Amino acid sequence: MSDMARTMRRQQGAATVESAIILIIFLVLIMGIIEFALLIFNASSLVEATRAGARHLIVNEPLVTLSDETCATPAVADCADGDCDGVLGLMQKFYPRLGDVNLEVEYRCSTTGSPDAYEDIKIYEVEVRLKEVEYTFITPGILGLDATITLPDFKTTRLSEDLETP
């Protein structure tokens, strides 16, 4: 074999190795972009779930008994006892992995406007909070690694005009 043929064969081998290295780097970059997009999609789904839950709670019967004491101390629904099953079912349409341990609902009097102007009318705020929701990355799972993170809390607050409107 001539020197020129050996040189060509070495260059082809070097090009194959370089292509393999570049392909691995490219695939890692693409998988990272896909993982980040899925994380953002899931976060967006959680935000939408809190919005839908707050809207549902503000137009339906309260999960707790609202009274004048609610203005002094917020009323918190105990979702672990199944009090929130209706709203949880609605929110699971947006993010199916939600559980009752992730959901917290709080009713309190609003400080919007002048409280002295409308003493007989109570305007409540409903806050829906999703807490301790975990997200598991796909790519490390394929490799046999456990890459789970806890997402920050997501919350939405809505004002009522009148919770007693039929």
- State yes or no: pLDDT of 165 exceeds 50: no
Model confidence pLDDT, tens digit, residues 95-140: 999 888 889 998 888 776 655 555 556 778 889 999 999 998 888 7
- State yes or no: pLDDT of 141 exceeds 70: yes
pLDDT at 33: 93
pLDDT at 94: 93
pLDDT at 64: 79
pLDDT at 30: 93
Tell which wins on pLDDT, 82 or 20.
20
77 pLDDT band, cuts 50/70/90, is: confident
Q: Which residue has the tokens 């050996």?
A: 6
Please check whether residue 50 is in contact with residue 84, taking contact to mean a CB–CB distance below 8 angstroms.
no
Cα separation of 18 and 105, whole Å? 56
Q: Which residue has the tokens 């975990």?
A: 134
pLDDT at 1: 58
Crossing angle of the two packed helices 85-92 and 3-59, in degrees rounded to 10: 150
Looking at this protein, which amino acid is placed at residue 98? L
DSSP the chain: --HHHHHHHHHHHHHHHHHHHHHHHHHHHHHHHHHHHHHHHHHHHHHHHHHHHHHHHHHS--SS---HHHHHS-EEE-GGGTTTHHHHHHHHTT-TT--GGGEEEEEEE---S-TTTTSS---EEEEEEE-S-EEE-HHHHHTT---EEEPPPEEEEEE-S-TT--
Cα separation of 122 and 71, whole Å? 9
pLDDT at 23: 92
Model confidence pLDDT, tens digit, residues 19-56: 889 999 999 899 889 999 999 999 999 999 999 999 98
pLDDT at 166: 43
pTM: 0.77
Tell me how far the alpha carbon of residue 137 is from its chain's centroid.
Answer: 14
pLDDT at 117: 53
pLDDT at 116: 59
Q: Where are the domains of the chain?
A: 3-159
